[in-house]
Structure 1
Amino acid sequence: MKQQIVGIAALLMGLFASAQTNPAITNWLVNTTGITGRHYVAGNSTPIVDAVLANVQTVQYNNTHVYVSATGIPAYITGPFQDGNPSLATAQNKIFKIPLNPVQGTGNVATTGGNIGVFINGVALFDYRDGVAYSATGTNGVCGGPGNPPCPGGPMATQAYNRDAIPAERAGFDCAKAHPAMGNYHHHQNPSAFNLDLVVTSNICDLYPSDGLYVINPNVHSPLLGFAYDGFPIYGAYGYANTDGTGGITRMKSSYQLKNQTSRPNGPSVGQTIGNQTFFNGYFREDYEYVAHPNDPTYLDIHNGRVCNTPEYPASLYPNGIYCYFATVDENHKSAYPYVVGPTFYGNITVSTVTTVPAGTTILATDTHSITDLSVRIAPNPASDYIAIQTQLSEVDMQIDLINELGQVVKSGKILQGSTLSIIQTDDVYAGIYFLRVSRGKQQSTFKVVIDR
């Protein structure tokens, strides 16, 4: 659907490395244009512009840490959250203190409810849970969350059976697969739009199109998306087949699988319904088991990561590699448990939030780029229904023109200030060879594209 195509916006969201060598310093999506957040309200597909700056505001660093100041509001449109969640994404205004050289920990530190990582746009990462759990004494079978009795030990306490937010709260996620908790907008899972999955499990993007943080591309190594609270990097769904950065591109696979079970010890039977809750297999985190694949490096470890080389951490600079988490998906690009990080960290928790940045830090310079500096990515090519044109974050509007072999402009679009992507719909264009012209003032670049039916 054409509305679904719109949700492809913000491909990779400015993940182009600068001259610095430590990605924990350089790979943040810094707001250099004044772009603000936007949100939908249910029943209105025209977004409301907010008076809150989006993405990261400043990056400062010293020899040991990087300090990232962010509102927690993305540039992509948030909402609506159609499960009765009354909250909107609101500014969090945090300063994250992240180590430049994280180290392996005990491996026994469990993820918890709430923030366990931060994406490159300053948006929070949560783990699998949503604060709801099974209650053997509850009248509706669950505790925690709106309308349910409290869980023993409080909302952050781990219970015997803890609900998986991904299937349970799908109706409340927006197009970007996220939602707020008391204003704290966050992702639990791979942060790409629902309508870009190979099998679409939510139609929210049809009426309320938005962007994710990136678009899955099976042909290239996924971008660096953020950092977990142990300081180690988080990547998207695809990586190198081999840990040393060789072997081609392949999907990184979770080593967790659903148990073959019909009952749960001291819990509800699989498929049992209590009140309005049906406890299917996969309703709880405890329905999964870890199965090691020691001879296949594309399967991740018990923390959902591996030690490896990546484009940002090449073997030339990191001969021993670095531990990386991956946002796992299945063969249909549907999010796969444990989704990003967990259920335990590889390292100890070393990321914190602070109220001030210490004296002596260096402010990361934000360069302005000319068109000759820009990496322009075009996908798909050959194209059929649409072409997505992605650049680095643009500080001014950029013109996009689709030109036929006679030199006639047949389609046009723009990459708006503070955005990275334009969609040119081609379902009503004849098949053939065309040229895409990307212009900023007098600066231009032209690319050959093929439209094929």
Structure 2
Amino acid sequence: MGLRTQSAWAVHNQVDINIRGKYRYISANGIPDHRTGNFPNRRNPNTIQSQNHLFRVPMHPKEASHITDVGFNSFGVAINGIPFDPAANEFWQRDRHSGWQYEAMSGKIDLGLDKNNAHVQPNGAYHYHGLPTGLIRNWSDNQHSSVIGYAADGFPIYVLYGYKDPTQTQSPIMPLASSYKLKTGTRNGGPGGRHDGSFIQDYEYRRGFGDLDECNGRFCVTPEYPEGTYAYFLTSEYPFIPRKFRGIPDKSFQKRRGSGPRNHHQKNHSRPKPGERPPRP
């Protein structure tokens, strides 16, 4: 997909991050600070528009007594003011009660994502479904990731690279791996067929399979937190962007009813027949 330059925007990226009391406030106009794909496009009929994003996260986040699913809310926000929205509101046979939700990053359903693994909601909000490549294009794989954003619960978000020993800042740098893996065998009911990653239900968490926990994070030291913190990591494999919170998410990241990631496809997008995959990108 072709990319357009930032200079093509009539409105440029505006983001303000400031601390007031116990909270960090992130306000942004939602215009990316990097090149994007062409929007609207054949699979995403929406145009990027200026937003009035205002997010709030605690300065001193705490681990909650239980893990919370992200659901269709925003997981967090990048330092450039663009939200991380991992879930696609797309279901097998377009039935949200089917128990089979398509994975946006699988490539099995074309949502018109650009090279930043992002696209646009009907209200014009540009958002990431995976690694924000335009934002990290100049990063090095031999250095620990910098903070790329904040999750709704206030914990920092990093990308890919961390210390091999989570307790030592002098430890070698390595790409951190998710602990989710594809299930074996075939699906029980629904679309049938083997577990190939088309649906989020094709994956399962296997403790110790990778480096990260079920929230795609870990307790560790980082350059910004040498004394240690819980930190989330975006990964190149599922879940890409975490789908669960270790802490308590702030309500400013909740989606208002009707503002979720709907209508990513053109209205004439054909409905797959039972047991049939949607078209590939």
TM-score where L is the length of structure 1: 0.51
CA-CA distance at 1:187 after TM superposition: 0.6
- Alignment-mate amino acid for residue 270 of structure 1: G
CA-CA distance at 1:169 after TM superposition: 4.6
Match of 1:151 in 2: 96
- Alignment-mate amino acid for residue 208 of structure 2: H
Decide which of 138, 155, 176 is 1:232's aligned counterpart. Answer: 155
CA-CA distance at 1:170 after TM superposition: 5.4
Checking the alignment, whether the CA contact within 8 Å between 1:106 and 1:348 is kept in structure 2 is: no
- What is the DSSP-based 3-state SS (H/G/I as helix, E as strand, rest coil) of the residue aligned with 2:91? strand
Match of 2:117 in 1: 177
Residue 166 in structure 1 maps to residue 105 in structure 2: yes
| 1:34-183 matched pairs, under 5 angstroms | 40=4, 49-56=8-15, 58-81=16-39, 82-127=41-86, 129-134=87-92, 142-143=93-94, 151-152=96-97, 160-167=99-106, 168-169=108-109, 172-182=112-122, 183=124
Which residues of structure 1 form unaligned runs of 5+? 8-38, 41-45, 135-141, 144-149, 153-158, 193-210, 272-279, 330-335, 355-453
- What is the DSSP-based 3-state SS (H/G/I as helix, E as strand, rest coil) of the residue aligned with 1:115? coil
- What is the DSSP-based 3-state SS (H/G/I as helix, E as strand, rest coil) of the residue aligned with 1:105? strand
- What is the DSSP-based 3-state SS (H/G/I as helix, E as strand, rest coil) of the residue aligned with 1:109? strand
Match of 1:339 in 2: 240
| 1:393-412 matched pairs, under 5 angstroms | none
Decide which of 255, 261, 267 is 2:179's aligned counterpart. Answer: 255
- What is the DSSP-based 3-state SS (H/G/I as helix, E as strand, rest coil) of the residue aligned with 1:345? strand
CA-CA distance at 1:67 after TM superposition: 1.6
CA-CA distance at 1:108 after TM superposition: 2.7
Checking the alignment, whether the CA contact within 8 Å between 1:239 and 1:251 is kept in structure 2 is: yes
Q: Partners in 1 of 2:89 and 2:182 — Cα distance?
A: 21
Q: Partners in 2 of 1:353 and 1:337 — Cα distance?
A: 22
Residue 186 in structure 1 maps to residue 127 in structure 2: yes
Match of 1:365 in 2: none
Checking the alignment, whether the CA contact within 8 Å between 1:234 and 1:340 is kept in structure 2 is: no
CA-CA distance at 1:216 after TM superposition: 4.9
- Compare CA radii of gyration and give the structure with the larger one: 1
| Higher relative contact order, chain-length normalized (CA < 8 Å, sep 6+) | 2
Give me the CA root mean square deviation.
2.5
Q: Partners in 2 of 1:313 and 1:255 — Cα distance?
A: 24
CA-CA distance at 1:51 after TM superposition: 2.4
Q: Partners in 2 of 1:187 and 1:304 — Cα distance?
A: 16
Q: Partners in 2 of 1:215 and 1:169 — Cα distance?
A: 30
Which residues of structure 2 form unaligned runs of 5+? 255-281
Match of 1:431 in 2: none
- Alignment-mate amino acid for residue 289 of structure 1: E
- What is the DSSP-based 3-state SS (H/G/I as helix, E as strand, rest coil) of the residue aligned with 2:201? helix
Q: Partners in 2 of 1:306 and 1:256 — Cα distance?
A: 14
| 1:293-372 matched pairs, under 5 angstroms | 293=208, 299-314=211-226, 318=227, 321-329=228-236, 336-342=237-243, 344-350=244-250, 352=252
Checking the alignment, whether the CA contact within 8 Å between 2:234 and 2:240 is kept in structure 1 is: yes
Q: Partners in 1 of 2:253 and 2:68 — Cα distance?
A: 19
Q: Partners in 2 of 1:47 and 1:98 — Cα distance?
A: 28
Match of 1:437 in 2: none
| 1:372-451 matched pairs, under 5 angstroms | none
Q: Partners in 2 of 1:186 and 1:105 — Cα distance?
A: 27
CA-CA distance at 1:86 after TM superposition: 1.2
Q: Partners in 2 of 1:170 and 1:222 — Cα distance?
A: 30
Checking the alignment, whether the CA contact within 8 Å between 2:164 and 2:174 is kept in structure 1 is: yes
Higher strand fraction (1 or 2): 1
TM-score where L is the length of structure 2: 0.81
